[in-house]
Amino acid sequence: MKTLNEMLATLTPEQQQQIDERVTQMRLESQLYKLREQLQRTQRQQAEAMNIAQSSVAAMESRGAELKISTLKRYVEALGGELTLGVKMPGGEHVDLIV
């Protein structure tokens, strides 16, 4: 039986990129859920804090990387947090972006 790395090595670069993009998407989806769960908050409670419907919170959490930064900011602020973004430049310099 092949290992995961061996199977991935047989894929085209395009297929590998698609997998990488999906993994990134799934990580963000999972992170939003984990943030909310860490505070023991339900989707309904999160929705109330944002003045939106519970189904909208579910959609945000499932949308992952497709969220607008402004929506992500509202989500995080409704949890009582602050969204910060940073960029790692090719030379290694880190630049914080004000959101």
C-alpha Rg value of the chain to the nearest Å:
17
Give me 32's structure tokens: 């939003």
pLDDT for residue 41? 95
pLDDT for residue 32? 87
41, 54 contact by CB (below 8 A): no
Which stretch of 2-16, 17-31, 79-93 has the lowest confidence by average pLDDT? 17-31
Which residues, 6 or more positions from 82, have their beta carbon under 8 angstroms from its beta carbon? Answer: 76
∠ at Cα 61 (60, 64), nearest 5°?
85
